[in-house]
Amino acid sequence: MIQVDLTGKNAVVTGATRGIGLGVAKALAKAGAAVACIGTNQEKLTASVEGIVADGGNAKAYICNVADSAAVAETAKTILADFGKIDILVNNAGITRDMLMRRITDEQWNDVINVNLSGTFYVTRAFVESMRKSKWGRIINIASISGLIGNKGQANYSASKAGVIGFTRTISKELANRNITANAICPGFIDTDMTAVLDPIYIQGLKDHIPMGRIGVPEDIANAVLFFASPDSSFVTGQILTVDGGMIY
């Protein structure tokens, strides 16, 4: 893990119960940030935060469905009351409802768009004023290589992540004059509990298409987040970083 000192900074991570989100929350806490962890599963979120605290980190749990605009606004008020200000925001919460485009239902389409894209907007809007007042902020959105190249069976997911990329580039221009950067990370295939259920033959096939010859791990994404969250990235904004072992190039 790269060495970054985020002592004195407060961070919000959505989708912090497992996988990439949990890895990011752990990394930020280890770097010294106080972390507000947002998720929808009380049991898993509590366990995640307890693990961070047991390792010496500072974290608190907040239950919230990011697709619910009103719930996000209320949760943000609580977090800001608890933390005082937010310096770093990682929009990671996301879901899939994979299906060939012609078979996607309205519900499957809307579920994915509402969490992945609208949720990113709701959460960013809720915390950006805190950053504007401080004249310092780091917004890091977790997109996907599917948002860059598309993926069969993921019309809804790919569209949502492409939207996140466009959203990131737009807000980077709107917020730059307040010393707030906005960047996106596009993970490739990452080893999480969501991917662990896949057929080993399918996973091996993916490995064969990754030049580095391995599946990514949450720490690979967390390291990219740490860079974007750090003072060292102060002149980097509106960028889309692909972390995929060379898979799409």
How far apart (Å, rounded) are the C-alpha atoms in residues 167 and 165? 5
pLDDT in tens, 43-56: 999 999 999 999 99
Q: Residue 192 — very low, low, confident or very high, per pLDDT cuts 50/70/90?
A: confident
* Whether 216 contacts 190, CB under 8 Å: yes
Record the tokens describing residue 2, joined without a space.
């790269």
pLDDT of residue 113: 98
State yes or no: pLDDT of 197 exceeds 90. Answer: no
pLDDT in tens, 227-237: 999 999 999 99
157 is catalytic: yes
State yes or no: pLDDT of 11 exceeds 90. Answer: yes
State the sign of the Cα–Cα–Cα–Cα dihedral 148, 153, 155, 160.
negative
Q: Residue 1 — very low, low, confident or very high, per pLDDT cuts 50/70/90?
A: low
pLDDT in tens, 114-134: 999 999 999 999 999 999 999
pLDDT in tens, 37-84: 999 999 999 999 999 999 999 999 999 999 999 999 999 999 999 999
Mean pLDDT of 18-31: 98
Query: DSSP letter at 115?
Result: I
Mean pLDDT of 88-103: 97
Cite the beta strand spans of the chain per DSSP E.
10-14, 34-39, 58-63, 88-91, 137-142, 180-187, 240-243
* Whether 23 contacts 1, CB under 8 Å: no
* Whether 72 contacts 45, CB under 8 Å: no
Give the domains, in start order, of the chain with CATH numbers.
10-190+219-238 (3.40.50.720)
State the sign of the Cα–Cα–Cα–Cα dihedral 56, 58, 62, 67.
negative
Mean pLDDT of 140-167: 97
- The helix (H) or strand (E) run that includes residue 38 is strand 34-39
Q: Global pTM?
A: 0.96
Kindly name the residue from 122, 157, 202, 249 that is annotated as catalytic.
157
Residue 77: which residues within 8 A CB-CB, separation 6 or more?
none
In the predicted model, what is the mean pLDDT of the chain? 96
The residues with which 138 forms a beta bridge, in sequence order, are 88, 181
pLDDT of residue 194: 63
Q: Residue 201 — very low, low, confident or very high, per pLDDT cuts 50/70/90?
A: confident
